[in-house]
Amino acid sequence: MSNTIIPAKKVQSNGASIENKTTMKGLVYNGPGKIEYKDIPKPGIEKPTDALVKIVKTTICGTDLGILHGKTPSVKPGTTLGHEGVGVIEEVGAGVRNFKKGDRVIISCITADGTCEYCKKQMYGHCKDGGWILGNLINGTQAEYVRIPHADNSLYMAPEGLDDEALVMLSDILPTGHEIGVINGCVKPGDTIAIVGAGPIGMSALLTAQFYSPAKIYMIDLDENRLALAKKWGATHTINSGKNDAVKKIMSETADGVDVAIEAVGAPATFDICQQIVRPGGHVANIGVHGKSVDLKIQDLWIRNITITMGLVNTNTTPMLLKTVTSGKIQPEKLITHHFKLDEILRAYEVFGNAAKEKALKIILTN
């Protein structure tokens, strides 16, 4: 597939402040392989529970690259991408109670009405009037402004004094790594765990797994730079799967495999590693977004009493994670490797799309 990036069009300024404009700049998906940074309509309040947020910092997610590569057919051409960010509230609807104009907020990647059956189970990712809609079913955060539905349940107040860039990591990757990888994988004290994929989500699983004191943490990846960072940030063992047979190495260094195998890529080969290295009674926690089917070796797995989990983040642990960041227990800002202005977003996508060459993890875009 050819990933054609359409250059941004020049903007003719009329001298008016952005607040008075009816248009703004945003990154628009135009179909597989095509994105364009251009003038688009500025959003407004559509429902009483909406908030309009001026973006201060945003980022690019691996899911956004998946959309660009045609991996997410629910995203229609014309959609503004992005589902992460920190911003300042420009306007609120009459029904918003917890926020006001001028508040600095963290935008959750998950929108929740707080009242439906799934929200009452804290399964916010499956909210009947929300879930993952930003940058998917509605326009997202890679723009100057974004409309946030159900603002009271979909925004978090940003504590004073905390770095905006650290807080952007709370929009998605930190709760995703923690909930879908660590919690679903039932990581517990003394466990031996393996994380397959040292990208931003895998690194988030690495940081948050340490809350639960596993005895050994293997990080498996093809990128030596990322493996070196993983070792620095808490991995006890690293394996370059391009140079070593990761399955043979782990099985030779453990009694009978790992207690928890966390898949953090979304590819058949990485899922296969996980199902081969998990020990009897263990867990395979799939975080990665898969674009095609995998080979489930049920003929080998059925007798080993393993649990396989997967899912969409619910962000129900975001308040707790915010406390850990506020206390300094974890520093998610160390995942950030590159900075760009929002109007440099096309270049930022190129860098993020060539992460190994550019030594990129998370990118921050400043409006």
pLDDT (tens place) for every residue of the chain, 367 residues total: 444 444 444 343 333 344 567 999 999 999 999 999 999 999 999 999 999 999 999 999 999 999 999 889 999 999 999 999 999 999 999 999 999 999 999 999 999 999 999 999 999 999 999 999 999 999 999 999 999 999 999 999 999 999 999 999 999 999 999 999 999 999 999 999 999 999 999 999 999 999 999 999 999 999 999 999 999 999 999 999 999 999 999 999 999 999 999 999 999 999 999 999 999 999 999 999 998 899 999 999 999 999 999 999 999 999 999 999 999 999 999 999 999 999 999 999 999 999 989 999 999 999 9
Among residues 212, 236, 221, 204, which one has the least CA distance to residue 335?
204
Token reading at 273: 């590693």
In angstroms, the CA 172 to CA 249 distance is 32
CA–CA separation, 85 vs 54, rounded Å?
10
Quick: pLDDT tens for 229-265. Answer: 999 999 999 999 999 999 999 999 999 999 999 999 9
| Predicted pLDDT of residue 243 | 96
CB 184 within 8 A of CB 153: no
Cα dist from 351 to 20, 34, 228, 277, 282, whole Å: 33, 16, 20, 33, 37
Cβ contact 75:289 at 8 Å: no
Ranges assigned E (strand) in 16-135: 23-29, 35-41, 51-59, 79-80, 85-92, 104-107
Separation between Cα atoms, residue 305 and residue 359, nearest integer Å: 39
DSSP H/E element including 251: helix 246-253
Single out the residue of 144, 147, 170 nearest to residue 157, CA to CA: 170
Please give the Cα distance from 109 to 241 (Å, whole number): 31
Look at phi and psi of residue 179 and say left if phi exceeds 0, alpha if psi is from -120 to 50, else beta.
alpha
3-state secondary structure of 324: helix
User: What's phi and psi for 64, nearest 5 deg?
Assistant: -65, -40
Pairing of strands 278-286, 307-310: parallel
For 211, other C-beta atoms within 10 Å of its C-beta total 16
Give the span between the Cα atoms of 173 and 155, in whole angstroms. Answer: 16
Angle, helices 246-253 vs 268-277, to 10°: value is: 20
Neighbours of 249 (CB within 10 A): 17
Are 91 and 100 in contact by the 8 Å Cβ rule? The answer is no
